Structures are given as C-alpha cells and as structure tokens.
Structure 1
Amino acid sequence: MSAQPIPSAAQQREVRLAARALGRAGLAHAYGHCSLRLDAQHFLVCAPQPMGLITPGEPGIVVPVDGELPEGVLGEVRIHQQLYRRRADIGAVIRSMPAQVMALSCAGLTPQPRHGMGSYFQPSIPLWDDVQLLRSDAQASALADLFGTGKALAMRGNGAIVVGDSLVEALTLTWYLEDAARIELQLRSAGLAEQGPLLDADACAQRATRSGRIFERMWEYLTAGDPEAGDPTN
C-alpha cells in the first residue's frame, strides 16, 4: 500500500466547504459525511460530526480505500471505501439526508428524469431497499454493487449517496437529486405523474451538460457566505 498522503490546506478547506454547504442547504442534518479522493488508495473524509457544525480549520481524516476505518471515523464511511475501490472515475462521495428523496424512497420510489436537473442521473437512480444502517463491509459492498455506474443511489428512508469526479460536481448533483425528487413528489401529489413526459436517454445525454460553469456556479451559490469561501490560503 502506498504511503498515506498529507492533505493540502486547500483539500481540507474544500471538504469543509462542501460539508457546511450541505448543512446550510438542508441536504444534511445531524447525519451524513462527504469525502474527497487524495490518490488511488486514500481519501479525505470530513470530521465525524454534523456537517453544518464543522468549524473553519477543523481537519478531516485520511482513510484508506482498503483496510480498517481509522479510529473515530463514522461506520458508514465504508460506503465511500467500496465506491472508490470499484470506480477510478469517482473523485468525491457525499452521503446526505435530502428530505424529498427520503420521502420518495419510503414509497419505494426514486426520482425519474422529468426536468433538466434530473437528466444527470443516468442510467437510473437505484433504490437500496433496506432501512438498516450500513455498519459492515458486506453491506457496504452490496450497496456499491447496486450503485453501478451511475451518479446517485437512494436508501429507503435513509438518505442518498451521490458521487462525482470532484466535490464541486458531487455537491451540485446532490442538490439536483433533491430537486428531481421535489418535482417527482409534486407531480405525483397533483395526480400528473402519468401524463408528465420522461426524458429518454438521448435527451438526458444532450441536456446533462457540464459547459457554462454549470457545476461551478452551483458550488458558488451553495458555499456563498461561508467563512472560508474565497480564501484558498485557509
């Protein structure tokens, strides 16, 4: 195994920014965590406390992709390990508690691609159909297998997992996922879900653009006002 890397100040700051942004946006409360890949064998996870309460300068913890979780790291960070292990394209993982996603998942449903922000989740958003906490490697491995090649997975009554090639992307997609769930719930509540068209794979591929600073602008919006925003030296 490669030597454990030392995260840069910028990497530590980025993890804190993402964590607090999730809290401010109502996408996480007392529970949840986010991480950033450091190299092929290690990632940096946020401090093990409510993400919105992580203070400026508080360091995260370096976790190996293979091996035991370091002391103090939350048990469900095993999910991050399994996802990083399977997919070299993943640069960040977010475990959050979006309210609309959770409501849908309790009915055994996940958001469908009905609007622009929902187009980013192809081929689909799988449902982990188990309300139990994931506190074992076997559970985390099975979840990662179900996750597949997509960007998000909903956990029945227990939040969501979103990945990206960066924390900027993963944070943005977590917000998009909740917005897709909002649309889904509103259409179903109004009795309009059946007549509302779904975007097919071609339409999703065309709409799910990365151009125009799509992800960067959402990052700026969600981190605005953070005490560490705009200060790369901190």
Structure 2
Amino acid sequence: MDKARPLIEAGRYIVNNHLAWGTSGNISIRLDTENMLITASGTFMGDLSPEDFVESNIHSAKYRGSKKPSKETPMHSEIYKRRSDIGAILHSSPFYTTLIACSKETILSNLFIETMYYLENMAYVDYFHPGTSELAEAVSKQSSKSNIVIMRNHGVTVFDDTLNDALMRLETVEMACRMIITAKSAGVEFNKIPNHVVSSFLEESRYKPRKTINYLD
C-alpha cells in the first residue's frame, strides 16, 4: 500500500525522535473528501507496516480491513469534517508536551522563529477519556481556531495541510515545552519577542506564508 508509506516513515521518525512512544499515538492522512487512512488500534508507532492502517470513512465511520481503526478515529474524523484544509493529523504524548499538559503551565509562542510560526494558533481542552465522543467534540471545536490542541493530562493533537507540516508542528511544540521546563528548573528568564515584532514576522511572511484556517460550521 504505497499511500501508507509516508505514515510508516512518520511513525518511525516520531518514535526515534522521542515524539511518541509505544502505542501511545495515532496518525492519519486524508485520502479524499470522504475517506482517511489511519493507524489501526494498538499499533506500535515505531514499527508500522501497510497492514497496520485502516481506510475509514470520515462521515459514516465505516472501514475496510480486518483490523479496527484507532480508538481516536472519532477525533480525526471530526477534525477533517470541520477543517477542509487539513490533510494530516498526528496525536501523541511526547514527554515534555505531556508534562506541560499535566500542569498549569502555558506554552509560549514568542520565543524563536519556529514557535512564532508553528505555535501561532494553539488551544487547550480539559481531560476526556481517550476515544470518547466528548474528546472528539472538544478537540474538533477548538480546531476551528487552532492547529495544535493540548489535551490536559493526555497529550497533544496537531494537524496541517501535509504530513511534514504536521510533524514540524509536533516537533516545535515539544521543543518549546522542553525549553520552558529546562529554563524553569535552571532559573533562566526568557527574553520574549515583543508582540509587534511577532505580528510583523507573521504578516510579512518573513518565514513562510502564514497558515490560514479554513473550517466548516
């Protein structure tokens, strides 16, 4: 299954770079307006094969294959239904991001170039049990105004036009969280980038064209 190859490589990459561990994550890509390809339930992210993916209908939840799709399929489906521009979704529990998600800390976006761009639109949702309609609804609602959703006491879900862009968002939020926690433990005070400079950076495309959010009510 050639269409699974990028997901297999992404799974290996995020595990090797400590952005996920074991079976604590799921990945999907949009195939068309009706269908997505998503990791099967209980799959090990670092050693995926074509048989570890399930083609699932975004609207009906019907799927093909002998394996069941990830328990977070409802969350992926709701994001794809709400965001017509999204082509890939990653959900995982990287160490530092999850540590922040289990605390009252706020993730800063005005630290360096990549955080200004990739962390511009972030949102938080309270804890809901994995795979529930409540979690899917909460994350989907926030996806109308964000590209990263921190799930309290759980982890993070990121989404973007392409799988590579989604990976970059995931890496950036984990880097920012690692910096925040390291700085606090070392007593380092951040020199934050002023808001007007952040606005100039984003509006004048000094990194790459600003990501727009296209969503359906």
TM-score bucket of the superposed structures, by smaller chain? 0.7 to 0.9
Amino acid at match of 2:58: V
Q: Is residue 117 from structure 1 mapped to residue 120 from structure 2 by the alignment?
A: no
Q: In structure 1, what is the equivalent of residue 135 of structure 2?
A: 139
Asked if the contact 2:101–2:150 (Cα under 8 Å) also holds between the matched residues in 1, the reply is yes
TM-score (norm 1): 0.76
> What aligned pairs does 1:13-24 form with structure 2 within 5 A after superposition?
13-24=5-16
> What aligned pairs does 1:77-226 form with structure 2 within 5 A after superposition?
77-113=73-109, 114-130=111-127, 132-193=128-189, 195-198=190-193, 200=195, 201-205=198-202, 209-210=207-208
Identity %: 23
Q: In structure 1, what is the equivalent of residue 55 of structure 2?
A: 62
Against the structure 1 CA distance between its residues 122 and 180, is the aligned structure 2 distance closer, same or farther, given a 3 Å change threshold?
Answer: closer
Q: Is residue 42 from structure 1 mapped to residue 40 from structure 2 by the alignment?
A: no
Q: Quote the offset at 1:177 in angstroms.
A: 1.2
Asked if the contact 1:45–1:63 (Cα under 8 Å) also holds between the matched residues in 2, the reply is yes
Q: Secondary structure at the match of 1:126?
A: strand
Q: Quote the offset at 1:59 in angstroms.
A: 5.0
Q: Secondary structure at the match of 2:28?
A: strand
Against the structure 1 CA distance between its residues 122 and 22, is the aligned structure 2 distance closer, same or farther, given a 3 Å change threshold?
Answer: closer
Q: Quote the offset at 1:145 in angstroms.
A: 0.5
1: distance between equivalents of 2:207 and 2:135?
33
2: distance between equivalents of 1:149 and 1:76?
20
Against the structure 1 CA distance between its residues 143 and 81, is the aligned structure 2 distance closer, same or farther, given a 3 Å change threshold?
Answer: same
Amino acid at match of 1:191: G
Q: In structure 1, what is the equivalent of residue 45 of structure 2?
A: 51
Asked if the contact 2:39–2:70 (Cα under 8 Å) also holds between the matched residues in 1, the reply is no
1: distance between equivalents of 2:187 and 2:39?
41
TM-score (norm 2): 0.82
Q: Is residue 28 from structure 1 mapped to residue 24 from structure 2 by the alignment?
A: no
2: distance between equivalents of 1:110 and 1:93?
22
Alignment length (residue pairs): 200
Q: Which runs of 5+ in 2 are unaligned?
A: 210-217
Q: CA RMSD in A?
A: 2.2
Q: Quote the offset at 1:38 in angstroms.
A: 0.5
1: distance between equivalents of 2:40 and 2:72?
13
Q: Quote the offset at 1:29 in angstroms.
A: 1.0
Amino acid at match of 2:10: A
Q: Secondary structure at the match of 1:72?
A: coil
Amino acid at match of 1:209: Y
1: distance between equivalents of 2:179 and 2:194?
13
Asked if the contact 1:108–1:129 (Cα under 8 Å) also holds between the matched residues in 2, the reply is no
Q: Which runs of 5+ in 1 are unaligned?
A: 1-8, 212-234
2: distance between equivalents of 1:199 and 1:153?
24
Q: Secondary structure at the match of 2:158?
A: strand
